[in-house]
A and B are shown apart, each in its own frame.
Chain A
Amino acid sequence: MAKNKKNVEEEVTSADGSRAINKFRISDAVMMVIITLLCATCVLPFLHLAAKSISSNSMVMAKKVYFWPKQITFDAYASIFSDGSMVRSMIYSVGVTLLFTLLGMIVCTCAAYPLSKKRLKGRYVFTFLLMFPMYFGAGLIPTYLLYKNLHMLDTMWVLVLPLIYSPYNMLIMKTFFQSSIPDSLEESAFLDGATNFQVLFKIVLPLSKPILATLSLFYAVGRWNSYADNKYYIRAENLKMIQYKLSQLVSSAAEAQSATLSEAAAVTSTPEVLQAACIMFVTIPIICIYPFLQKYFVKGTMIGAVKG
């Protein structure tokens, strides 16, 4: 009994002053430390590589470079730029990504807008036809043969056309149209004699700017980051995207590292500084634009989470 009473008293004292509840506790500190450490694992590797990439070879080989460059030199970057193939590949990748994103958004809108209309006859059939490829693919080899028959192997188009229609992105856009654009707007436009195209361009798309931004980013980042299709379908050096170039460059280094395990051989086969500079060269564009775009991604993922 007495114990119970004591408990109640304690509850009252802790409840009446909100200050007691908002007190900074040890658990707060622990959580902040854990989260800070996790953040450090996301930041420090790149800081380390950045420092390495602008340090001198001898300092790096002496293992004296941690998170701050020593004997700063931009030789590695200079050699990347003077070589030209990385720079050309970077420009080419930007071009492919932009074209891919533009076409992707067009085809995505062309699918999502009609399918968002409940009155559309045959809607279920079309939706099924357009969604099924997401759940069942023929696999690498039949796809490869198909592209071969279409004479798309070893062209830029094999990196663009096959993936511009994305069922996942279509679903997000369709969900947005259905949930965020009131039907009444469209109804009144129809009463004024507007056509479907006019409704789409004058009403729906201007109201959908946030989702258009989000999906463009999904497309762009997806294209920018994937490189397996380069490996599968492209032989010509000048048609390879930058991520694949990097992959080729580092895989030879990784192999040297594991085959010998002796540091000297690995270092002479690929200068560590140059390799760090190449990794940074490919990473920097993403790191620069990412903080500004991140919120759009979060928005799209939330809509996508509703279904899919």
Chain B
Amino acid sequence: MAKKEQVAANGTMAKQKHSVSSGFKRDWQLYLMLLFPLAMVLIFNYASYPGIRMIFYNYKPAKGWDGSKFVGMDIIMKVFADKDFRSALASSLVFNFMDLIVGFPMPIILALMLNELRYPRFKKVTQTILYLPHFLSWVIIGSVAYTMFRPTSGLVNIALQNMGLIEQGIPFLTEKYHWAVSYLLIGVWQGMGWGTIIYLAAITGISGELYEAAMIDGANRWQRIRHITLPGIKSTVVTLLIMNLGRVMGSNYERLDSFYNSQVRDFQYQLAVYIYEKGLAGAKFSEATVVGLFQSVVGLILVIAADKFAKKLGEDGLL
């Protein structure tokens, strides 16, 4: 039947009619396929949303919903007055902004340098090496860092001592201010190579004629970078910057966990750590849920705002 209709459908009118009458008949297989992912999000994502009502209860994991009292806004007020929460929030924001300030420009600079390299072979090999940290888990990066930066037996301190630059080992990861710097720089190091991909792709999109014209006019390398390459990747930079601003509320538990030790607790105690320690380890389910929800809601608002802002600037939106 459907086939006959299809063959008959030559004009647009007939085609339209066909799609209306037998859209489902022809595409039932597509809907069947969709059942699988829809079931997955319903079971594993949407089904968890009702649990959020825990923020209004004093939830006791041992007793379940029946044994937990409805307390209205009490828990929420308690959390926002909680000193631990405030310091975790402050650390999260400070570290995320620092990550952005230190980490965001690095891939751009690196991409500009890689783009200027003359030897394709050298470029390819170095790129492959620079991408490597992106493929390693935070556990590996953390444990390698601890091995390298140990105050007395770490390679970095031994090398610095042998060169006579320092007398005593520097506690790179075991004193909180040193830790903050190391933590940030290791984060930048982990992401810098991989971050270049997007910019290098944007640079390939710039017309080669522009460079030729500039060279004929006698523009040197820095002038070419400033007046052609940078304007050429501007929209990519702006989009990524906005996208990253939308993520300042997030926190990566694995990264924090991999760099934990008791000396640096003040700085390492960020929102993800708060949620894990209060919630799963400390059985204060309601408090942890409030903080998790706070993070999600603020994150969602920031992403929507970032999208609106990007579109206003005439860039492609994110959503």
* A→B interface (CB under 8 Å): 10-11, 14-15, 21-22, 24-25, 27-28, 31-32, 34-36, 38-39, 41-43, 45-46, 48-49, 52, 61, 63, 66, 106-111, 113-115, 117, 119-121, 126, 129-130, 132-133, 135-146, 150, 161-162, 164-165, 170, 190-191, 193, 195-197, 221, 224-228, 231-232, 243-244, 246-247, 250-251, 253-255, 257-259, 261, 263, 266-267, 272, 275-276, 279, 282-283, 286-287, 290-291, 294, 297-298, 301-302, 305, 307-308
Listed by A's residue number, 6 A-B pairs whose Cβ atoms lie within 8 Å are A28-B116, A108-B37, A114-B27, A250-B143, A253-B146, A297-B135
Interface of A is mostly: helix
B295 touches A139 (CB 8 A): yes
Tell me, rounded to whole Å, the shortest Cβ–Cβ distance linking A129 to chain B.
7
B293 in the interface (beta carbon within 8 A): yes
Contact (A282, B140) CB under 8 Å given A114-B31, A139-B289, A228-B257 = yes
B47/A146 in contact, CB under 8 A: yes
Instruction: Tell me, rounded to whole Å, the shortest Cβ–Cβ distance linking A43 to chain B.
Output: 6
Stretch in contact with the other chain, from B70-78, B92-100, B126-134: B126-134
| Interface contact B116-A145, CB-CB below 8 Å | no
- Cβ B33 vs Cβ A113 within 8 A: yes
Q: Is B309 an interface residue (CB 8 A)?
A: no
CB < 8 Å neighbour of A38 from B110, B155, B215: B110
B316 interface residue (CB < 8 Å to A): yes
Shortest 3 CB-CB contacts between residues of A and residues of B: A139-B292, A142-B51, A11-B218
Residue of A nearest to B262 (CB): A258
Chain A residues with Cβ below 8 Å from B129 are: 39, 42-43
* Residue in A closest to B142 when the chains form the complex, CB atoms: A250
Given known contacts A66-B155, A228-B253, A255-B261, is B117 in contact with A294 (CB within 8 Å)? no
* B117–chain A nearest beta-carbon distance, Å: 7
CB pair A143 B140 closer than 8 Å: no
Q: Is the CB of A24 within 8 A of B118?
A: yes
Residues of B within 8 A of A142 (CB): 48-52, 54, 289, 292
Question: Does chain A have a CB within 8 A of B210?
Answer: no
With A139-B292, A305-B201 known as contacts, the answer to whether A227 contacts B29 (CB < 8 A) is no
Cross-chain pair count, CB within 8 angstroms: 292
Q: Are the C-beta atoms of A36 and B146 separated by less than 8 Å?
A: no
Whether the pair B260, A227 counts as a contact (CB closer than 8 A) is: no
When distances are taken between beta carbons in the complex, the residues of chain B under 8 Å from A146 are: 44, 47-48, 51
Give the shortest distance, in Å, between B200 (CB) and chain A (any CB).
Answer: 9
Residues of B within 8 A of A226 (CB): 137, 254
Residue of B nearest to A249 (CB): B143
Known contacts A137-B296, A139-B295: A286-B135 contact under CB 8 Å:
yes
A119 to chain B, nearest CB (A): 6
Question: Is there an interface contact between A140 and B197, defined as CB atoms closer than 8 Å?
Answer: no
Specify the chain B residue showing the minimal Cβ separation from A143: B48
Stretch of B82-90, B227-235, B273-281 that contacts chain A: B273-281
Residues of A within 8 A of B66 (CB): none
Return chain B residues, CB-CB under 8 Å to A266: 150
Q: Nearest chain-B residue to A306 (Cβ)?
A: B316
Q: Which one of A133, A191, A221 contacts B45 once the chains associate, using CB atoms below 8 Å?
A: A133
Known: A126-B38, A307-B316. A251 touches B116 (CB 8 A): no
Q: Which residues of A contact B122 (CB under 8 A)?
A: 32
Residues of B within 8 A of A228 (CB): 253-254, 257
B62 interfacial by beta-carbon distance below 8 Å: no
* Chain A residues whose C-beta falls within 8 Å of the C-beta of B41 in the assembled complex: 129-130, 133, 165
Instruction: Report chain B residues within 8 Å CB of A144.
Output: 279-280
Main secondary structure of the interface of B (DSSP, over half): helix
What chain A residues lie within 8 Å of B218 (beta carbons)?
Answer: 10-11, 14-15
Inter-chain CA distance A305–B290, complex, in Å, is: 33
Which residues of chain B (270-318) have a CB below 8 Å from chain A? 275-276, 279-280, 285, 288-289, 291-293, 295-297, 299-300, 303, 316, 318
In the complex, the answer to whether A141 meets B217 with C-beta atoms within 8 Å is no
Chain A: which residue is nearest B236 at the CB level?
A305
Contacts of B293 in A (CB 8 A): 138-139
Which residues of the partner chain B approach A244 to less than 8 Å between Cβ atoms?
139
A245 to chain B, nearest CB (A): 9
Contact A279 B143 (CB under 8 A): yes
B7 at the A interface (CB under 8 A) = yes
Could you tell me if A41 and B27 are in contact, using CB atoms closer than 8 angstroms?
no
How far, in Å, is B11 (CB) from chain A's closest CB? 15
Given the complex, which residues of A lie within 8 Å of B19, measured CB to CB?
Answer: 119
Q: Which of B27, B110, B217, B295 has the most CB of A within 10 A?
A: B27
* Interchain CB contact under 8 A, A279 and B257: no
Q: Does B81 contact A (CB under 8 A)?
A: no
In chain B, positions 16-70 with a C-beta closer than 8 Å to chain A are 19, 23-24, 26-27, 29-31, 33-38, 40-41, 43-52, 54
CB contacts (< 8 Å) of A31 on chain B: these are 113, 116-117
Nearest CB in chain B to that of A36: its residue: B126
Report whether B37 and A170 are in contact in the complex, using a CB–CB cutoff of 8 Å: yes
Verify if B151 is at the interface (C-beta below 8 Å from A).
yes
A residues within 8 A CB of B288?
139-141
The answer to whether A232 and B151 touch (CB under 8 A), given A11-B217, A114-B34, is: no
Taking CB atoms, residues of chain A closer than 8 Å to B51 are 138, 141-143, 145-146
Q: Are B27 and A39 touching (Cβ within 8 A)?
A: no
Bound CA span A243–B177, Å: 28
Contacts of B253 in A (CB 8 A): 228
